Structure 1
Amino acid sequence: MYLADQTWPDLGDYVAEESVAIVPLGSTEQHGPHLPLSTDHKIAEALAREAAERTGFLCTPTVDIGVSTHHMQFHGTMSVDPPAFRDYVESFSRNLTRHGIDRIVYVNAHGGNMQHLREVGRRLREDRAAYAVEWMWDESIPDLIDEFFPNKGPHGGPKETSMLLHIDPENVKTDKLEAARDGGRVNLEDGNPTIHGARNYYDAIDNSPNGVFGDQTEASAEKGAQLLDAASEQLAFLLEWLDDKPFDDLMAKPHVDPQPGSRRE
C-alpha cells in the first residue's frame, strides 16, 4: 500500500489493523560517469515498493535528498546538513505516530544516512513514540553480493550498477562502465584510506578521482533482478518479524537497580 495514493479513510482502515510503515530514503549525489544522481533513492524506492507489495504494509513517499557532504566536489550533488536531516526525519516519523504507526523501517540506500537514522531511531525509542530501525539492502544479502562481484566497491560499483540496469536501464550509460572502473578505484584499500590507524579521508574524491569504486563491468541487469528479489525478501522478513513483536519488547530496557539488595520491606 502506497500512502500517497490512498484516501484518508483508507488509511484509517489500515491503522485500525496495522502499525507498521516503510520509509524509503536515499540521496541525490554523484555516482560516477555511468550512473545517475538518482541511483540511491531509486533503489530505496524499488525495494520499499516491492516489500510493500509482498506484505501489504504501508509505504511512504521517498526521501530523495540525504547527507552527502562527502560527494560535494562533484557536479549536481545535493546534501542537507546532518542536524537538519535528523530533525526532518524525526518530525515526519512522529507525524506517522500521530496516525497510529509505532514501528518504522527506514529502507536506506545511502551510507551517509546510516548513523543519522540510527540516532533518530534512538530518540523515538527513548520516549516510547515508536520503534524505528535503519535497514541497508546490501547488508541483508552479503553472500549473494560476494558471489556476484569479486570487486563490489562501496559506492557506484557493480552492485548498484546492476540494480539500476534492472530498475532504470535507460539512465545507465553502459558505454561508460570501463571508464568508471579505470577512472575510479577498484579496491578502496589501494588508496591507503587508513594511516597508522587513522582514517585518511573525509570525501569520496580523496580515494577515487571519479568518485566511484569497484569494477562496474561485473554488473548486469540479470544480477540486478536477483539482488532486488533477494533483498526484498529479506526486507519482507524483517517487516513481518517487527509486526509480530509486542511493542514493549521493542522498547528500551529499564535501568538496572542502582542499589541492588538495599531496599527494605
Structure 2
Amino acid sequence: MYLADEAWPDLEAYFEAESLAIVPLGSTEQHGPHLPEGTDHLIAEGLAREAADRTGYLCTPTINIGVSPHHKQFPGTMWVDAPQFRDYVESFTRNLTYHGIDRVVYVNAHGGNIEHLQEVGRRLYDDETAFAVEWMWDESIPDLVDDLFEHNGPHGGPKETAMIQHLHPDLVHDDRLDEARDGGVLMEEVENAEPDGRRRGMVHGARAFYDAADNTDNGVLGDQTDATAEKGAQLFEAASDQLVQLCEWLAARSPEELRPKPHV
C-alpha cells in the first residue's frame, strides 16, 4: 500500500489493523558521469515499494534529499544540513505515530544518512514513541555483493550501477561506463593512498579527507564495467527478501519487546 495513492478511509482501516510503516530515503547527488543524481532515492523507493507490495505494509512517499555536502563540488548535488535532516525525519515520523504507527523501517540507500537515521531512531526509542530502524540495502547482502563484483565501490560503483540498470535502464549512460571507471578510482587505491594534496586515504589512523572530490576526479569508485542488469536483478531480489523478513520480524514483536528495559 502506497500512502499517497490512498484515500483517508482506506488509510484509517490500515492504521486500525497495522502499526508498521516503510519509509524510503535516499539523496539527490552526483553519481558519476553514467548514473542519474537520483540513484540513491530511486533504489530506496524501488525496494520499499517491492516490500510493501509483497507484505501489504504501508509505504510512505520517498525522502529524496539527504545529507550530501561531501558531493557539493559536482553540479546538481543537493543536500540538507544534518541537524535539519534529523529534525525533519523525526518530525514526520512522529506524525506517523499520531495515526497509530509505532514501528518504522527507514529504507535507506545513501551512506550519508546512516548515522542520522540511527540518531533519530534513538530519540524515538528513548521516549518510547516508536521503534524505528535504519536499513541499508547493500549491508543486508554483503556476501552477494562481494561475490558479484571484484572491484566494488561505495559510491557510483558496480553495485549501484547494476541496480539502476535493473530498475531504470533508460537512466544509465552505458556508453560512459569505461569513462566512469577510468576517471574514478578503485576503493583500494583510496585506502592505500599516500597524502599528496589530491587523493588521500587513511593517514596514521585518521581519515584525512572530507569530500568525494578529494579522492576521485569524476566522483565515483569501483569498476562500473562489471555491472549488468542481470546482476542488478539478483541484488534487488536478495535485498528485497531481507527487507520483507525485517518487516515481518518487526511487525511480530510485542510492544513490550520494543521498549527500553527498566533500570537494573
- Report the TM-score, using the length of structure 1 for normalisation: 0.95
How far, CA to CA, are the matches of 2:161 and 2:225 in structure 1? 9
Report the equivalent of 1:77: 77
* Letter aligned with residue 242 of structure 2: Q
Give the 3-state SS of the residue equivalent to 1:213 in structure 2: coil
**Structure 2 CA distance, aligned partners of 1:129 and 1:226?**
36
Q: Deviations over 1:6-59 (max 9, x none)?
A: 111101111111100000000000000100100000000000000001111000
Q: CA deviation at 1:208?
A: 1.1
Q: Match for 2:205 among 188, 192, 197?
A: 197
For 2:261, which of 241, 253, 262 is the aligned residue?
253
Corresponding position of 1:128: 128
Q: Could you report, residue by residue, the CA deviation over 1:55-98 in whole angstroms, capped at 9, with x for unpaired residues?
A: 11000000000000100010000000001000000000000000
CA distance in 2, matches of 1:127, 1:186: 43
Report matched runs for 1:1-265 at 5 Å: 1-187=1-187, 188-191=190-193, 192-256=200-264
Q: Using the alignment, how far apart are the partners of 1:67 and 1:109 within structure 2?
A: 12
In 2, the alpha carbon distance for the partners of 1:169 and 1:30 equals 17
Distance in 1 between residues matched to 2:212 and 2:157, nearest whole Å: 13
CA contact (8 A) 2:102 2:131 kept: yes
1:20 partner letter? L
Structure 1: any 5+ residue segments left out of the alignment? 257-265
Amino acid paired to 2:138: D
Of all paired residues, the percent bearing the same amino acid is 67
CA distance, structure 2, for counterparts of residue 48 and residue 140 of structure 1: 14
Instruction: Specify the SS of the correspondent of 1:177.
Output: helix
How many pairs align?
Answer: 256
Quote the residue 1:262 is aligned against. none
Can you give the 5+ residue segments of structure 2 that lack an aligned partner in the other structure? Answer: 194-199
For the residue of structure 2 that corresponds to 1:22, the secondary structure is: strand
Q: 1:189 corresponds to which letter in structure 2? A: E
8 Å contact 2:192–2:202 — kept in the other structure?
Answer: no
TM-score (norm 2): 0.96
Q: Cα RMSD over matched residues?
A: 0.8
Shift of 1:251: 1.5
**Cα deviation, residue 205, structure 1:** 1.0
Q: Distance in 2 between matches of 1:185 and 1:68?
A: 20
Deviation per CA, 1:219-263, whole angstroms, max 9, x where unpaired? 00001111111100000000000000111211122222xxxxxxx
